[in-house]
Amino acid sequence: MKHVVYAVYILGLFLSSAAAQILINGAGATFPEQIYQKWFSEYQKIDPTVSFNYQGIGSGGGQKQILAETVDFGASDGPMSDQNIARAPRELWHIPTIAGAVVISYNLPNSPVINIDGQTLALIYLGSISKWNDPLIVNQNLGIQIPDIDIVVVHRSDGSGSSFIFSDFLSSVSSEWKNKVGKNTSVNWPVGLGGKGNAGVASQIKQSPGAIGYIELAYAHQNKLAVANIKNSSGIYITPSVQSVSEALKSVSIPDDFRFSMVNPAGSKAYPISGISWLLVYSQQKDAAKGKKLIEFLTWAFANGESYAASLDYVALPDSLIKRAMLRVNAIKY
């Protein structure tokens, strides 16, 4: 009888805890998804009364869902436009969380490490360069055997912050790209195959000989894909890394609304296709319980979560930017 009573007691505690648990829903960027999932997992160990449901559907989807208020927060690697922000039912804030690299990965025999500049990348994605042994590629890689095979261009098929960062970079180095295509989370790609999410692009590159595509650094490492050195604004070919993205972040000026670009910054050691991720959060939360938990989670993330960044190929925000971001977090009302 005692065992039965005890079992009923434990079941009661479990049901009570489950009933009391608050679910916070988020959606958006796949670029930071791996560190966000790490944060959610670690935070639930500290506060089991809250759980997170995050869907990596791309930055464009995250922006749409937060505007429609079908999620409690959005996530994006491309800043929202003034026009989109104006559509928000009330004040919507960008809260920076983490920085990282968009890398150029490719599928070539023996996986050589190649050098490539932005102008050449623009011509590849415009369809003007279609062979790997084009002189513009070969002349940047003297001494490396570049095969005579077709280039298979791969890009994101969904609205993507990675696409915004990459097209922002191409627009900064190529007037032809800027005038014909421009920058956005979704653009009219002149050529290429689409892949959904960073994982989809990585998969397309792996299975397509001659492929080239842009993905977040962690996805390249996990899929054992070759990564190119990219020519920066100082004329130096830079390997994407935590260190070179940190150099890029140091070089940029950050406005009060936190919407800024990190591409092609000054600095001889800066990786030029770097980007920042934001959580998109309403300044006035509709649900008081969720709003309180969201603030508590963000406070923990800035105090403790940033320490997981380097091990996952991301770059933690500097203390000065964290202090500014926390002022914004503490101003959220619920």
- Same structural domain, 126 and 184: yes
Using pLDDT thresholds of 50, 70 and 90, give the confidence band for residue 20. Answer: low
Helical pair 118-126 and 161-173, crossing angle rounded to 10 deg: 110
Residues 192, 302 within the same domain: no
pLDDT in tens, 236-273: 999 999 999 999 999 999 999 999 999 999 999 999 99
Q: Region 98-126: what's the mean pLDDT? A: 98
Same domain assignment for residues 88 and 114: no
pLDDT value for 143: 95
Residues 114 and 146 in one domain: yes
**Rounded CA separation 28/13 (Å):** 34
Q: Give me the number of domains the chain comprises.
A: 2
Q: Are residues 84 and 174 in the same domain?
A: no
Same domain, 197 and 297: no
pLDDT in tens, 160-203: 999 999 999 999 999 999 999 999 999 999 999 999 999 999 99
Distance between CA 155 and CA 163 in Å, rounded?
A: 8
Amino acid at 311: S
pTM of the model: 0.90
Task: Please identify which residue in the block is written with the tokens 């559509």.
Answer: 87
In contact, 182 and 171? CB cutoff 8 Å:
yes
What is the band of 10 on the pLDDT scale with cuts at 50, 70, 90? very low
Same domain, 240 and 148: yes
DSSP 3-state of 268: coil
| CATH number where 145 lies | 3.40.190.10
Q: Is residue 25 domain-shared with residue 160, that is, in the same domain?
A: no
Instruction: Decide which of 274, 300, 318 is a domain's last residue.
Output: 274
Q: For residues 8 and 132, state if they share a domain.
A: no
Edge-first strand order for the sheet with 115-116 is 115-116, 229-231, 237-238
Query: Is 70 exceeded by the pLDDT of residue 18?
Result: no
Mean pLDDT for 306-311 is 97
Q: Is the pLDDT of residue 123 over 80?
A: yes
The CA distance from 136 to 117, in Å, is 9
> In the numeric block, which tokens belong to residue 249?
């972040």
In terms of domains, do 191 and 224 share one? yes
* 12: containing domain: 2-99+277-330
Q: Does 181 share its domain with 304?
A: no
Q: Token pair for residue 24?
A: 């916070």
Give yes or no: residues 75 and 149 share one domain.
no
For the cut 50, the answer to whether the pLDDT of residue 6 exceeds it is no
Mean pLDDT, the chain, whole residue set: 94
